[in-house]
Structure 1
Protein backbone atom coordinates (compact mmCIF):
# COMPACT_ATOMS: atom_id res chain seq x y z
CA UNK A 1 0.00 0.00 0.00
CA UNK A 2 1.53 3.35 -1.01
CA UNK A 3 2.37 5.94 1.61
CA UNK A 4 1.87 8.88 -0.76
CA UNK A 5 -1.33 10.29 -2.19
CA UNK A 6 -4.76 10.40 -0.61
CA UNK A 7 -5.03 8.46 2.64
CA UNK A 8 -7.39 5.54 2.67
CA UNK A 9 -10.51 5.43 4.77
CA UNK A 10 -10.31 2.85 7.53
CA UNK A 11 -12.78 0.11 6.64
CA UNK A 12 -13.78 -2.31 9.37
CA UNK A 13 -16.85 -3.78 7.66
CA UNK A 14 -19.38 -1.67 9.57
CA UNK A 15 -19.67 1.11 7.00
CA UNK A 16 -22.08 1.00 4.08
CA UNK A 17 -20.96 2.15 0.64
CA UNK A 18 -23.05 5.29 1.21
CA UNK A 19 -21.24 6.01 4.48
CA UNK A 20 -17.85 5.50 2.82
CA UNK A 21 -18.85 7.89 0.02
CA UNK A 22 -19.96 10.53 2.55
CA UNK A 23 -16.71 10.07 4.48
CA UNK A 24 -14.61 10.53 1.35
CA UNK A 25 -16.33 13.75 0.29
CA UNK A 26 -16.34 15.13 3.83
CA UNK A 27 -12.65 14.42 4.31
CA UNK A 28 -11.87 16.16 1.02
CA UNK A 29 -13.72 19.26 2.25
CA UNK A 30 -11.93 19.18 5.60
CA UNK A 31 -8.55 18.72 3.91
CA UNK A 32 -9.28 21.75 1.70
CA UNK A 33 -10.01 23.67 4.94
CA UNK A 34 -6.57 22.59 6.26
CA UNK A 35 -7.82 19.95 8.74
CA UNK A 36 -6.09 16.61 9.22
CA UNK A 37 -8.60 13.77 9.65
CA UNK A 38 -8.86 10.30 11.10
CA UNK A 39 -11.77 7.93 10.60
CA UNK A 40 -13.16 5.53 13.19
CA UNK A 41 -11.10 7.10 15.96
CA UNK A 42 -11.56 5.57 19.42
CA UNK A 43 -12.51 8.07 22.11
CA UNK A 44 -11.89 8.00 25.88
CA UNK A 45 -15.60 7.26 26.39
CA UNK A 46 -15.23 3.96 24.51
CA UNK A 47 -17.13 5.27 21.49
CA UNK A 48 -15.66 5.59 18.00
CA UNK A 49 -16.02 8.85 16.10
CA UNK A 50 -16.70 8.50 12.37
CA UNK A 51 -14.35 11.40 11.56
CA UNK A 52 -12.17 13.46 13.88
CA UNK A 53 -10.63 16.55 12.29
CA UNK A 54 -7.76 18.55 13.73
CA UNK A 55 -6.83 22.11 12.68
CA UNK A 56 -3.41 23.69 13.10
CA UNK A 57 -4.77 25.87 15.91
CA UNK A 58 -5.83 22.63 17.74
CA UNK A 59 -9.54 23.06 17.00
CA UNK A 60 -11.13 19.62 17.04
CA UNK A 61 -14.21 18.69 15.03
CA UNK A 62 -16.15 15.45 15.14
CA UNK A 63 -18.26 14.53 12.13
CA UNK A 64 -20.94 11.89 12.59
CA UNK A 65 -21.91 10.28 9.28
CA UNK A 66 -25.57 9.44 8.72
CA UNK A 67 -26.19 7.40 5.59
CA UNK A 68 -29.99 7.32 5.86
CA UNK A 69 -33.00 8.37 7.92
CA UNK A 70 -33.00 4.93 9.57
CA UNK A 71 -29.31 5.31 10.47
CA UNK A 72 -30.03 8.65 12.17
CA UNK A 73 -33.11 7.40 14.02
CA UNK A 74 -31.25 4.34 15.33
CA UNK A 75 -28.43 6.47 16.76
CA UNK A 76 -28.75 7.55 20.38
CA UNK A 77 -25.04 7.99 21.08
CA UNK A 78 -24.25 11.12 19.07
CA UNK A 79 -24.77 13.63 21.94
CA UNK A 80 -21.85 11.93 23.74
CA UNK A 81 -19.44 13.19 21.07
CA UNK A 82 -19.81 16.81 22.22
CA UNK A 83 -17.55 16.07 25.20
CA UNK A 84 -14.68 15.31 22.78
CA UNK A 85 -14.78 18.21 20.30
CA UNK A 86 -15.07 21.95 19.82
CA UNK A 87 -17.68 21.54 17.09
CA UNK A 88 -19.97 18.66 16.16
CA UNK A 89 -21.24 18.11 12.62
CA UNK A 90 -23.45 15.61 10.86
CA UNK A 91 -22.55 14.61 7.31
CA UNK A 92 -25.27 13.28 5.02
CA UNK A 93 -25.84 12.48 1.36
CA UNK A 94 -28.31 14.31 -0.87
CA UNK A 95 -30.76 11.45 -0.25
CA UNK A 96 -31.11 12.17 3.48
CA UNK A 97 -33.48 15.04 4.30
CA UNK A 98 -31.48 17.76 6.07
CA UNK A 99 -34.48 18.87 8.13
CA UNK A 100 -34.27 15.75 10.34
CA UNK A 101 -30.79 16.68 11.58
CA UNK A 102 -30.55 18.46 14.94
CA UNK A 103 -30.33 22.24 14.71
CA UNK A 104 -27.71 22.38 17.49
CA UNK A 105 -25.08 20.65 15.32
CA UNK A 106 -23.42 21.62 12.07
CA UNK A 107 -24.51 20.02 8.82
CA UNK A 108 -22.46 18.86 5.83
CA UNK A 109 -23.78 17.40 2.59
CA UNK A 110 -21.31 15.16 0.78
CA UNK A 111 -20.83 12.91 -2.21
CA UNK A 112 -17.88 10.94 -3.52
CA UNK A 113 -16.15 14.04 -4.89
CA UNK A 114 -16.54 16.67 -2.19
CA UNK A 115 -18.82 18.28 0.34
CA UNK A 116 -20.36 21.56 1.40
CA UNK A 117 -21.17 22.94 4.82
CA UNK A 118 -24.89 23.70 4.91
CA UNK A 119 -24.89 24.89 8.52
CA UNK A 120 -21.97 25.85 10.76
CA UNK A 121 -21.72 24.05 14.09
CA UNK A 122 -21.97 25.99 17.32
CA UNK A 123 -18.66 26.39 19.14
CA UNK A 124 -18.29 24.73 22.54
CA UNK A 125 -14.59 24.92 23.36
CA UNK A 126 -12.98 21.98 25.10
CA UNK A 127 -11.36 22.29 28.51
CA UNK A 128 -7.55 22.32 28.33
CA UNK A 129 -7.15 18.84 29.85
CA UNK A 130 -9.71 17.33 27.46
CA UNK A 131 -8.06 19.04 24.48
CA UNK A 132 -4.65 17.67 25.50
CA UNK A 133 -6.10 14.17 25.88
CA UNK A 134 -7.72 14.35 22.43
CA UNK A 135 -4.54 15.70 20.82
CA UNK A 136 -2.48 12.85 22.29
CA UNK A 137 -5.11 10.29 21.27
CA UNK A 138 -5.22 11.72 17.72
CA UNK A 139 -1.42 11.67 17.38
CA UNK A 140 -1.08 8.18 18.84
CA UNK A 141 -3.82 6.74 16.61
CA UNK A 142 -2.36 8.39 13.51
CA UNK A 143 1.17 7.18 14.29
CA UNK A 144 0.03 3.59 14.85
CA UNK A 145 -1.90 3.59 11.58
CA UNK A 146 1.02 5.08 9.66
CA UNK A 147 3.32 2.43 11.11
CA UNK A 148 0.80 -0.23 10.06
CA UNK A 149 0.93 1.07 6.47
CA UNK A 150 4.73 0.99 6.42
CA UNK A 151 4.92 -2.44 8.08
CA UNK A 152 1.63 -4.37 7.71
CA UNK A 153 2.91 -7.27 9.81
CA UNK A 154 3.01 -5.01 12.87
CA UNK A 155 -0.81 -4.76 12.79
CA UNK A 156 -1.01 -8.14 14.52
CA UNK A 157 0.39 -6.48 17.66
CA UNK A 158 -2.83 -4.54 18.25
CA UNK A 159 -5.43 -2.62 16.32
CA UNK A 160 -6.42 1.05 16.23
Structure 2
Protein backbone atom coordinates (compact mmCIF):
# COMPACT_ATOMS: atom_id res chain seq x y z
CA UNK A 1 0.00 0.00 0.00
CA UNK A 2 1.47 3.34 -1.06
CA UNK A 3 1.31 5.89 1.78
CA UNK A 4 -1.15 8.71 1.21
CA UNK A 5 0.39 12.16 0.94
CA UNK A 6 0.52 14.29 4.06
CA UNK A 7 -2.48 16.55 4.59
CA UNK A 8 -4.49 14.55 2.04
CA UNK A 9 -7.99 16.00 1.82
CA UNK A 10 -7.04 19.36 3.35
CA UNK A 11 -6.73 22.66 1.48
CA UNK A 12 -3.45 22.82 -0.50
CA UNK A 13 -2.29 25.73 1.64
CA UNK A 14 -1.86 23.32 4.59
CA UNK A 15 0.77 21.34 2.66
CA UNK A 16 2.36 24.62 1.55
CA UNK A 17 2.70 25.83 5.16
CA UNK A 18 4.13 22.42 6.12
CA UNK A 19 6.67 22.68 3.29
CA UNK A 20 7.82 26.11 4.47
CA UNK A 21 8.13 24.91 8.07
CA UNK A 22 10.06 21.84 6.92
CA UNK A 23 12.54 24.04 5.06
CA UNK A 24 13.01 26.25 8.12
CA UNK A 25 13.52 23.22 10.36
CA UNK A 26 16.04 21.69 7.96
CA UNK A 27 18.20 24.80 8.25
CA UNK A 28 18.03 24.35 12.03
CA UNK A 29 19.04 20.67 11.80
CA UNK A 30 15.57 19.68 13.00
CA UNK A 31 13.74 17.06 10.92
CA UNK A 32 10.01 16.41 11.00
CA UNK A 33 7.43 13.90 9.88
CA UNK A 34 3.80 14.73 9.24
CA UNK A 35 0.55 13.58 10.79
CA UNK A 36 1.95 11.80 13.83
CA UNK A 37 -0.59 10.01 16.04
CA UNK A 38 -0.03 10.58 19.76
CA UNK A 39 -0.81 8.13 22.57
CA UNK A 40 -3.71 10.31 23.76
CA UNK A 41 -5.55 9.89 20.45
CA UNK A 42 -4.58 13.27 19.02
CA UNK A 43 -2.57 13.73 15.82
CA UNK A 44 0.27 16.23 15.50
CA UNK A 45 0.46 17.92 12.10
CA UNK A 46 4.27 17.90 12.28
CA UNK A 47 6.61 16.42 14.85
CA UNK A 48 10.32 17.04 14.61
CA UNK A 49 13.46 15.99 16.41
CA UNK A 50 16.68 17.95 16.78
CA UNK A 51 20.28 16.69 17.31
CA UNK A 52 19.81 16.74 21.10
CA UNK A 53 16.69 14.58 20.90
CA UNK A 54 14.33 17.41 21.74
CA UNK A 55 10.87 17.05 20.23
CA UNK A 56 8.90 19.85 18.61
CA UNK A 57 5.24 19.69 17.62
CA UNK A 58 3.75 22.07 15.07
CA UNK A 59 0.02 22.60 14.71
CA UNK A 60 -0.84 24.00 11.27
CA UNK A 61 -3.86 26.23 10.88
CA UNK A 62 -4.83 27.77 7.56
CA UNK A 63 -8.24 29.28 8.22
CA UNK A 64 -9.56 31.64 10.86
CA UNK A 65 -12.42 29.27 11.69
CA UNK A 66 -10.09 26.30 12.20
CA UNK A 67 -7.72 28.34 14.35
CA UNK A 68 -10.32 29.97 16.57
CA UNK A 69 -12.36 26.81 17.20
CA UNK A 70 -9.42 24.51 18.07
CA UNK A 71 -9.85 23.54 21.72
CA UNK A 72 -7.69 20.40 21.67
CA UNK A 73 -4.24 21.83 20.97
CA UNK A 74 -3.15 21.90 24.62
CA UNK A 75 -3.35 18.08 24.54
CA UNK A 76 -0.14 18.11 22.46
CA UNK A 77 1.96 19.88 25.09
CA UNK A 78 2.71 16.76 27.14
CA UNK A 79 4.41 15.12 24.12
CA UNK A 80 6.95 17.77 23.16
CA UNK A 81 9.65 20.07 24.46
CA UNK A 82 8.40 22.92 22.27
CA UNK A 83 5.08 23.68 20.60
CA UNK A 84 4.51 26.01 17.65
CA UNK A 85 1.54 27.27 15.71
CA UNK A 86 2.28 27.49 11.99
CA UNK A 87 0.04 29.75 9.97
CA UNK A 88 0.02 31.63 6.69
CA UNK A 89 0.77 35.36 7.04
CA UNK A 90 -2.87 36.49 7.15
CA UNK A 91 -3.52 34.56 10.42
CA UNK A 92 -0.45 35.55 12.42
CA UNK A 93 -2.09 38.39 14.37
CA UNK A 94 -4.79 36.05 15.74
CA UNK A 95 -2.14 33.89 17.42
CA UNK A 96 -1.27 36.78 19.73
CA UNK A 97 -4.55 36.36 21.59
CA UNK A 98 -4.19 35.07 25.15
CA UNK A 99 -6.11 31.85 24.41
CA UNK A 100 -3.19 30.76 22.21
CA UNK A 101 -0.81 31.06 25.20
CA UNK A 102 1.81 33.30 23.62
CA UNK A 103 4.05 32.70 26.64
CA UNK A 104 4.07 28.96 25.93
CA UNK A 105 3.40 28.42 22.24
CA UNK A 106 5.70 29.68 19.54
CA UNK A 107 4.55 31.10 16.23
CA UNK A 108 5.85 30.28 12.77
CA UNK A 109 4.58 32.18 9.74
CA UNK A 110 5.03 30.16 6.57
CA UNK A 111 4.22 29.81 2.92
CA UNK A 112 5.28 27.21 0.36
CA UNK A 113 8.75 28.71 -0.04
CA UNK A 114 9.93 29.34 3.50
CA UNK A 115 9.00 30.18 7.05
CA UNK A 116 10.10 32.39 9.91
CA UNK A 117 9.82 32.02 13.65
CA UNK A 118 7.94 35.12 14.77
CA UNK A 119 7.71 34.05 18.39
CA UNK A 120 9.95 31.54 20.14
CA UNK A 121 8.31 28.62 21.89
CA UNK A 122 8.82 28.11 25.59
CA UNK A 123 11.15 25.19 26.34
CA UNK A 124 9.41 22.71 28.61
CA UNK A 125 11.65 19.62 28.85
CA UNK A 126 9.95 16.25 28.74
CA UNK A 127 10.47 13.85 31.62
CA UNK A 128 13.21 11.32 30.77
CA UNK A 129 10.83 8.34 30.57
CA UNK A 130 8.41 10.25 28.30
CA UNK A 131 11.31 11.43 26.11
CA UNK A 132 12.57 7.88 25.66
CA UNK A 133 9.11 6.56 24.78
CA UNK A 134 8.32 9.38 22.36
CA UNK A 135 11.74 9.28 20.69
CA UNK A 136 11.40 5.55 20.12
CA UNK A 137 7.86 5.98 18.72
CA UNK A 138 9.09 8.78 16.44
CA UNK A 139 12.03 6.75 15.11
CA UNK A 140 10.00 3.60 14.52
CA UNK A 141 7.21 5.53 12.77
CA UNK A 142 9.69 7.29 10.49
CA UNK A 143 11.44 4.00 9.69
CA UNK A 144 8.14 2.23 8.99
CA UNK A 145 7.06 4.99 6.63
CA UNK A 146 10.36 4.79 4.78
CA UNK A 147 10.10 0.99 4.58
CA UNK A 148 6.59 1.27 3.13
CA UNK A 149 7.90 3.59 0.43
CA UNK A 150 10.56 1.05 -0.50
CA UNK A 151 8.21 -1.94 -0.35
CA UNK A 152 4.49 -1.12 -0.37
CA UNK A 153 3.62 -4.69 0.65
CA UNK A 154 4.83 -3.83 4.17
CA UNK A 155 1.82 -1.60 4.70
CA UNK A 156 1.75 1.94 5.97
CA UNK A 157 1.04 3.16 9.46
CA UNK A 158 0.23 6.81 9.94
- The gaps in structure 2 that reach 5 residues or longer are none
Residue aligned with 1:56, SS: coil
The one-character-per-residue Cα deviations of 1:40-70 (angstroms, maximum 9, x if unpaired) are 0111111110000100101110000011111
TM-score (norm 1): 0.88
Q: Is the 8 A contact 2:23 2:115 kept in 1?
A: yes
Structure-2 change in CA distance of 1:109 and 1:122 (3 Å): same
- The gaps in structure 1 that reach 5 residues or longer are 1-7
Q: Is the 8 A contact 1:10 1:40 kept in 2?
A: no
Match of 1:4 in 2: none
Match of 1:159 in 2: 157
Q: CA offset at residue 94 of structure 1?
A: 1.1
Pairing 1:6-155 to 2, within 5 Å after superposition = 10-11=5-6, 13-101=8-96, 102=100, 103=102, 104-155=104-155
TM-score (norm 2): 0.89
Q: How many residues align?
A: 151
- Superposed CA RMSD in Å reads 1.7
- The structure, 1 or 2, with the larger RCO (C-alpha pairs under 8 Å, 6+ apart) is 2
